[in-house]
């Protein structure tokens, strides 16, 4: 009986979340459209330097990420694991997450590993998880630190390891671990995991691994 009564409640929660989603997207649409209009106006000014045009392109890229990012947060726990959701190309979304992080951090990113493949979960969800882990790393290591990102392709999963040279777990600024807790919950809902390690080579810093379940029917690519 309890199981039978749970379905209507779940349906009500689903409808409430959908309503909330529509309101949020409606509220952000106008200011985002205004930002894009301002970008286009800036492009049209005669003699705009090439460097400024590059920055304008980056503004557009980040603005276009906002609606899906908001949608992925509001859908969390409702649609993220529904069969038929699009798979995500790890290489593409990692490139996007690193590009966004470089805009706000002056430190050094190092990238290791070869081609990966497709994993379960929508692009917005996987990107949000990656950004959470990268944000945690750059906060820990400071404005002039180093973060190493390594992609390792396994048969059933793809590991994205983010290693920083900060003070290690327990020594990072307060509040930095919130994103990791959210990321762990999301990855576990997808059948993945978030693994925390102390780097063996240096004995300092932190190493966080996003274990992303490979999409069935998409075997590992040759690296």
Per-residue pLDDT reduced to its tens digit, 59-115: 877 777 777 766 666 555 443 444 455 689 999 999 999 998 998 899 999 999 877
Report the C-alpha gap between 51 and 66 in whole angstroms: 24
Computed over its alpha carbons, how large is the radius of gyration of the chain?
20
DSSP state of 205: S
Which pLDDT score, from 0 to 100, does residue 174 have?
56
Which pLDDT score, from 0 to 100, does residue 73 have?
63
Average pLDDT value for residue range 189-200: 84
CATH class given for the domain over 88-213: alpha beta
Q: What phi, psi does 180 have (nearest 5°)?
A: -65, -40
Which pLDDT score, from 0 to 100, does residue 209 have?
95
Among 161-165, 180-184, 218-222, the range scoring the smallest mean pLDDT is: 218-222
Task: Residue 172: name the closest of 204, 140, 199, 135 by CA.
Answer: 140
List the Cα angle 195/128/198 in 5-degree steps: 25
Given a cut of 60, whether residue 201 has pLDDT beyond it is no
Cα→Cα distances 218→35, 112, 113, 155, 211, Å:
38, 22, 19, 10, 16
pTM of the model: 0.69
Which pLDDT score, from 0 to 100, does residue 150 have?
95
Q: How far is CA 45 from the centre of its chain?
A: 34
Q: Name residues whose C-beta falls within 8 Å of residue 60's C-beta, 6 or more positions apart in sequence.
A: 36, 39
Compute the mean pLDDT over every residue in the chain, rounded to the nearest whole number: 79
List the Cα angle 145/136/52 in 5-degree steps: 65
- Domain ranges within the chain, ordered by starting residue: 2-74, 88-213
CB 151 within 8 A of CB 125: no
Cα→Cα distances 149→11, 25, 63, 92, 160, Å:
40, 32, 25, 14, 7
Among 7-11, 12-16, 60-64, the range scoring the smallest mean pLDDT is: 7-11
Report the C-alpha gap between 27 and 23 in whole angstroms: 6
Which pLDDT score, from 0 to 100, does residue 65 have?
72
């Amino acid at each position: 009986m309890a199981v039978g009564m749970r379905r209507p409640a779940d349906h009500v929660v689903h409808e409430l979340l959908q309503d909330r989603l529509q309101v949020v997207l409606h509220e952000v649409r106008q200011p985002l459209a205004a930002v894009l209009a301002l970008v286009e106006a800036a492009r049209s000014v005669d003699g705009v330097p090439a460097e400024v045009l590059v920055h304008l392109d980056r503004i557009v890229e980040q603005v276009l990420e906002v609606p899906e990012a908001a949608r992925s947060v509001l859908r969390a726990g409702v649609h993220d694991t529904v069969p038929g959701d699009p798979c995500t190309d790890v290489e593409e979304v990692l490139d996007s997450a690193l590009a966004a992080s470089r805009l706000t951090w002056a430190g050094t990113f190092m990238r290791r590993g070869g081609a990966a493949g497709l994993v379960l979960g929508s692009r917005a969800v996987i990107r949000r998880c990656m950004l959470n882990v990268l944000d945690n790393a750059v906060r820990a290591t400071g404005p002039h630190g180093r973060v190493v990102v390594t992609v390792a392709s396994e048969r059933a999963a793809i590991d994205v390891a983010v290693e920083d040279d900060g003070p290690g777990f327990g020594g990072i600024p307060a509040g930095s671990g919130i994103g990791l807790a959210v990321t762990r919950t999301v990855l576990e809902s997808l059948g993945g995991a978030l693994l925390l390690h102390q780097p063996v080579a240096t004995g300092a810093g932190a190493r966080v691994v996003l274990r992303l379940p490979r999409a069935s029917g998409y075997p590992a690519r040759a690296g």
